[in-house]
Chain A
């Protein structure tokens, strides 16, 4: 098992991919997932995150098998 990572919209363009994954480690947070797949580059200001399709915070813990998504502020409607 591992963490499935997804990016959307302009953020997917700037990180250069829509999907990737990383290994889970004990105590891992959403912020750690970002660092695992994007290195030291901080997320752009205003970046939102979701864990298993629910909005979450960057300091939330993730569990093995989670889907974590990162995306810009939404613009629907």
Chain B
């Protein structure tokens, strides 16, 4: 399940709601992996007061759904959940939540890591940091591209 949220959300509340929605399906999934990314109050040597996350309505949801579907093809997942904010965030606010559920832990961990690596390089969001009355667009990192590439399938 994918959600692009305009308002703050509580990751633990979202986990509980997700488990309630899944109900009996979770009984077969002994392993859940969860990642929460939150806004930091510091980046590249500067204090950050707020952040605005721009997105591409329509394409963002589509891209996240495709990334989620790819995880479901590669690993035996019982369920997955991605929640990603857009709009204005304050330090400590959750930016992104990824939860994966599988029978065993290896698939849950790997799929969770894959979802994060892919959404960081493929989901149309752009971060604008606000500090001391100025704004600055966050630059994409080559490390994130490298992290996504490690999931590339080897051609035989």
**Measuring CB to CB, which residues of chain A are less than 8 angstroms from any residue of chain B?**
6, 8-10, 46, 50, 53-55, 69, 71-77
Report Cα–Cα, A17/B119, bound state, in Å.
26
Query: Can you name 30 A-B residue pairings with CB atoms under 8 Å?
Result: A8-B54, A8-B56, A8-B124, A8-B126, A9-B126, A9-B128, A9-B137, A10-B126, A50-B56, A53-B59, A53-B62, A71-B124, A71-B126, A72-B140, A74-B120, A74-B122, A74-B123, A74-B125, A74-B126, A74-B140, A76-B53, A76-B95, A76-B119, A76-B127, A77-B37, A77-B84, A77-B95, A77-B119, A77-B123, A77-B125
Residues of B contacting A: mostly: mixed
Contact A69 B59 (CB under 8 A): yes
**Residue-wise interface mask of B (109-124) relative to A, using a CB-CB cutoff of 8 A (1 in contact, 0 not):** 0000000100111111
B residues neighboring A (CB under 8 Å): 37, 53-56, 58-59, 62, 84, 95-96, 116, 119-128, 137-140, 144
Q: Is the CB of B125 within 8 A of A75?
A: yes
What total count of A-B pairs have CB within 8 Å? 71
B96's nearest neighbour on chain A, judged by CB, is A77
Nearest opposing residue in chain A for B98, CB measure: A77
With beta carbons under 8 angstroms apart, the residue of B54, B59, B127, B144 that contacts A50 is B59
**Who on chain B is nearest to A9 by CB?**
B126
Q: Which of B56, B121, B123, B138 has the most CB of A within 10 A?
A: B56
Are A76 and B96 in contact, CB atoms less than 8 angstroms apart? Answer: yes
Instruction: Please indicate the chain B residues that have their CB under 8 angstroms from the CB of A6 in the complex.
Output: 56
16 new A-B contacts at CB < 8 Å, known A76-B124, A77-B84:
A6-B56, A8-B56, A8-B124, A9-B137, A50-B56, A53-B58, A54-B59, A54-B62, A72-B137, A73-B140, A74-B121, A74-B123, A74-B140, A75-B125, A75-B139, A76-B84
Q: Which residue of A lies closest to B85 (CB)?
A: A76
**Shortest Cβ distance from A52 into B: residue:** B59
Q: Which residues of B contact A72 (CB under 8 A)?
A: 126, 137, 140
